[in-house]
Structure 1
Amino acid sequence: MRSCVPTRIVSIAVALACIGWSVATTRAVAQGVYPVSGNLACDVAAVGPGQYTYQQPCEGPIGGALAEYCAPGCCGPRWSFAAEAIALQRSPTRSQSLFLSSRSTAELLNSKDFNFPVAFGPKVSAIRHGVFGSDFDIEVGYFQVDGFEVNTYVPGNSRMVIDINDTFLSTNSSVRYASALYCGEVNVRWQWFDWLTLLSGFRMGELNEQYNASGTGTFTSNPLSLDVNAYNHLYGYQVGAEGEVFNLGCGLQIKGLCKAGIFGNFAGQNIRSVETGASDESLSAVSERVSFLGEVGLVATYAITQRLAFRASYQAMWLEGVALAPEQIDTSNFTAGTAKVNLDGGVFYHGGGLGFEYRF
């Protein structure tokens, strides 16, 4: 499953970062805290063995010597980078009949029966602290998990559901359901208290799904197949907060994170049923709606050196108002030649990550 979303995310991230940079610079100049040369942020300061500070950059009068305003232990880093390998579990879809008994209406396979295995992917972020000496930070983040896939088998004779009305009489059918999630964001961060940082910004995501079923005609022996693709392009605004939960000393710190956003979802689906030598039909549709994305998480860091820290995290994310591949079957009608996009789907993700932070 391939997507060009990383390119789009990088392009939009760069544009928004430039906008945020300009806004922060304007505010800094208006407040008279724009330095004559460079940023007023100091380097990471040692607090003790294996510890370093997390405060925001120091500020001082224009033209003042940095040493006068940045005492040891006072100043934070200019840049922070984090990289993790994450492992997420995905919830199944809501109920959609996929295979029925060939002799009755008994259900042999439903979409909610799919249990996705844990999938892995990268997660990276970068923060520029104290942009041009202002009170604001700029954060850019991205993650992707494109390995959600489950395969199953329906032995013997069955009826393969292909739309709201029709089925194929199929023998020994194979089923595949795959899903991929890509997500990027650009946030402006402001430290309200020494333990609490507020954030707001732009977030975009892409959820792509594929459902495939194949078998052999019970009476015709012709190859049969059903292919359903659903895609969601989400663009929106989010707010959130990051707060210190525990600071246990010895370089160990735990933070909590929450984000919530409203997104415009530009979605579509296409469905194709094929009985080789007999029929080949395709339908497609596009639609849009307002969708919701919420995220909560915990991040624990342990300082290895003054600049490098080990990082362990947990995140849970809920996405509501999206198109999921199996749920498009009942909104398609090959006989009438019509199709709609079912945008009532919801997905829940949760899991952990391990990686490192580097600050300087």
Structure 2
Amino acid sequence: MKTLNLTVVALVIAVASSANAQYYPGAMSVSQQPYPQMAQAQYLMNPYSGIAGQVQPASYCDAGCDVGCGPGGCGLLGGSGGYDSQMFGAQHGPNGTGSCCLPRWFDVQAEWLFWDRDFGDDTLAVSSDNRLGPTVLSTDDLEIKEESGFRVTGAYLVAPATAIEASYFGGFNWSSVAFAFSPAPNNQLFSVFSGFGTNPFNGFADTAPGAAHSLAFSSALDNGELNVRKRFVSANCIVHSSAMVGVRYLRVAEELVFNTAAPNGFLNYEVQTDNDLVGAQIGGDMMICISPRFKIGGDIDAGIYGTNSSQRTNAVFGGGALAELERANDVAFVSEAGLNGVFQVTPRLNLRAGYQVLYVTGVATAIENFNTESPFAARNAFINNNGDLFYHGASLGFEFTW
């Protein structure tokens, strides 16, 4: 009986000892980590801080960057330190590590535009020195220089990474004046209306032989758009792109004025053209995140437009006046492209600079609607709406996010 009691006591002690000796079946030895104590959180040193002892959690990707991110942050190399460990690393990013992964966004964008209106091959000679002599006044003498305009864009978020954008650009007024003189007693200027002094011979009294001729040109451009834009970020956070669809209104208005002064008369001849374009467009952009602060890329859009074009010619001369008006509806094509760089100054403010080109075809221009038939007799009025326009120039501005 005593032996049995000792055996029972020994079993109770063994069971109790076994309960107290259970350990977490992890990689650590039982002597190092008793259950249920949890393992301590693991930390990595922040390679960007440069301050000894400062730590960051091992994974420090920003929100929205769960694809393509490793322990080193977002970027091309993922867990090996990624894009942020390169020369323009996270220490330069106002949004901190991983800001390349943040989608491109702004609430308001404003730009100063410095564009040129290119004449291309359009040349119109209006005055010669003597009958059938050398041309002394033409549209080549007009010195159209770059003009300032502006662009303003507002964006409103309507869904994840999707916004409605309203944009306007304009304020341009390209203009130039050129002169030709033949002082008395010579008065040897002849106009295109008489075939430069041949029909009728020695020209019309109101234009030839002339003492002074002048040619003036002006052109205005206005544009309004309403688009829906969807933005995308690549898995490695390097490529930022977008797709856009919307409607666009574009207006081109031009004027060409030819004045003559002769001993026996005068002529004031004015051609005005106006084009209203409305249509749909598609496009997009793509930018490369060079660093959390700096992106560079390009954009392009194109569309087909319904066009209402008009040309109005008014002439006043010593013997009377002339008034003509012609209209046409047709189809036009518009395309715009640009290269841009965006630099982040603060989390809310970006600076941007770039170069844009705008091509328009299927419109009426003042030069191509200058009727060279004599305005002093009955003639056939017309409208030519097959003209091409090419604008290009630099831009400088900012983007702001509230």
Q: What are the equivalent positions in structure 2 for 1:310-349 lying under 5 Å apart?
A: 310-330=351-371, 334=375, 335-349=377-391
Q: Point out the structure with the larger strand share.
A: 1
Conserved 8 A contact 2:219-2:255: yes
Is residue 2:255 matched to residue 1:210? yes
1:51 and 1:247 mapped to 2: Cα distance? 14
Give the equivalent residue in structure 1 for 2:123.
95
1:269 and 1:332 mapped to 2: Cα distance? 16
Question: Per-residue deviation at 1:174?
Answer: 2.0
Is residue 2:242 matched to residue 1:197? yes
Give the equivalent residue in structure 2 for 1:174.
214
- Aligned equivalent of 1:104, options 120, 132, 136: 132
Give the equivalent residue in structure 2 for 1:355.
397
1:145 and 1:155 mapped to 2: Cα distance? 33
Deviates more, 1:318-327 or 1:102-111: 102-111
Percent of residue pairs identical: 25
2:134 and 2:258 mapped to 1: Cα distance? 19
Question: Per-residue deviation at 1:269?
Answer: 0.7
1:121 and 1:353 mapped to 2: Cα distance? 9
2:225 and 2:384 mapped to 1: Cα distance? 26
Is residue 2:266 matched to residue 1:240? no
Higher relative contact order (CA 8 A, sep 6+): 1
- SS of equivalent to 1:146: coil
Q: What are the equivalent positions in structure 2 for 1:1-360 lying under 5 Å apart?
A: 49-52=92-95, 79-92=106-119, 94-104=122-132, 106-129=134-157, 131=158, 133-156=159-182, 157-161=188-192, 168-169=207-208, 170-194=210-234, 195-217=240-262, 219-220=263-264, 222-244=265-287, 246-276=288-318, 278-330=319-371, 334=375, 335-360=377-402
Q: 1:275 to 1:52 in 2, by over 3 A?
A: farther
Deviates more, 1:79-88 or 1:180-189: 79-88
Q: Please tell me whether Structure 1 or Structure 2 has the larger radius of gyration of its CA atoms.
A: 2
1:354 and 1:223 mapped to 2: Cα distance? 46
Q: 1:181 to 1:163 in 2, by over 3 A?
A: farther
* Aligned length in residues: 292
TM-score (norm 1): 0.73
- SS of equivalent to 2:370: helix
Question: Per-residue deviation at 1:337?
Answer: 4.3
1:302 and 1:73 mapped to 2: Cα distance? 12
Deviations 1:136-163 (A, max 9, x none): 2111111104220111111113223359
Conserved 8 A contact 1:99-1:107: yes
The runs of 5 or more residues in structure 2 that have no matched partner are 1-63, 65-89, 183-187, 235-239
Q: 1:74 to 1:117 in 2, by over 3 A?
A: closer
TM-score (norm 2): 0.66
2:352 and 2:102 mapped to 1: Cα distance? 21
2:307 and 2:193 mapped to 1: Cα distance? 26
Question: Per-residue deviation at 1:135?
Answer: 4.9
Question: Per-residue deviation at 1:96?
Answer: 2.5
1:284 and 1:295 mapped to 2: Cα distance? 31
